[in-house]
Amino acid sequence: MGVQGFKGLGWFLCGVVVAPACYLVNSHGAAEQAKLNATKLAIVQAQRDIRGLETEFNTRANLAQLERWNGEVLALAAPAPQQYLAGETALASLGQQPAEVQLAALVVPAGAPALQTAAQVVVPAAVPVQGAPQTAAPGKSVAQQDQELRKLMKKADRQAIASVDRGVLSAGTIDDLQKLAKREKLALR
């Protein structure tokens, strides 16, 4: 009897709670679907708008119009054959003036100190920086420039060498190491 009564309640619960809940899930799904569709429609609309605008831009800036603008304002001409480069070699040699080549030659062999080996890495990086003020002061004679350059080079070398001495292992560090070694020796005894 009691079971029978609960059976009725079960059906009742099923109708009142479970079915609406299922429906809720279903309708939620449908709502999401509708939203998705709306977004898709918006995308399609946007694509159509893009197409329309593209067409308008194309029409307003058609080649005849560009030609007119070029005639009135831009005045661009077709590039001459000299403006085309044959390959990487041509590209690399582009804009290299003979004067600059001389400059590079002047730096490397001339009167550079013999202890350059340690500073070799530093020198090429420093060259363009030195080159700039040099070209900016055209009033100086070649000899003067040469001297200045040499001075600068020496300075750079000194700095580089000094930094090599100090930077890698300072006197303090070596002292520390020696102390440590002593302590370890004592501990072993």
Partner 1 sequence: MIVVVAPPTRQGRTGGARQALVAIAQVRLMILSLLFGTGMLVVVGKLALLALWAEPAVARDMAMALIPPRGDIVDRNGAPLARSIDAWSIAVHPNQLIGDKTVLAQKLAELIPDKSAGEYYALLNSGGNFAYLKRRAMPELVTAVNALGEPGMEFQREPDRLYPQSAMAAHVLGFLDSRGRGVSGMEKVLEQQLSDPARRGKPVSLSIDARVQAALENELGRAMTDLQARGAAGVILDVHTGEIMAMSSLPSFNPNALPGAAPPNNVTQSVYELGSTFKPLAVAAAIDSGAITNMARRFDATKPLHIGRFSISDDPGDEQFRWLNIPETLVYSSNIATARIADELGAARMQDLFRRLGFDRRPAIELGGAKPLWPNYWGRVTVMTTAYGHGIAVTPLHLANAYAVMVNGGILRPTTLLKVDPGKVLAGERALKESTSARMRQLLRLIVTRGTGRKADAPGFRIGGKTGTAEAASAGGYDKHRNVSTFAAAFPIDAPRYVVVAMLDSPKANANTPRTTAGWTAAHVVGRVVTRTGALLGVTPDNARDIDVSEMLPLIWQGPVPKAAR
Alpha-carbon distance of 188 to 148, in angstroms, equals 59
Question: What is the smallest separation between the CB atom of 26 and partner 1, expressed in angstroms?
Answer: 13
Question: What is the smallest separation between the CB atom of 84 and partner 1, expressed in angstroms?
Answer: 5
Structure tokens given for 17: 């709670």
Cα angle, residue 158 at apex, residues 154 and 163 outer, rounded to 5°: 150
Q: Which is nearer to partner 1, 86 or 125 (CB)?
A: 86
Sign of the torsion angle spanned by Cα atoms 81, 84, 89, 93? positive
Residues within the interface to partner 1 (CB under 8 A): 37, 40-41, 44-45, 47-48, 52, 54-55, 58-59, 62-64, 66-67, 78-82, 84, 86
Alpha-carbon distance of 47 to 67, in angstroms, equals 30
Alpha-carbon distance of 68 to 86, in angstroms, equals 32
Question: What is the smallest separation between the CB atom of 51 and partner 1, expressed in angstroms?
Answer: 8
Q: Which is nearer to partner 1, 13 or 92 (CB)?
A: 92
Q: Which is nearer to partner 1, 62 or 159 (CB)?
A: 62
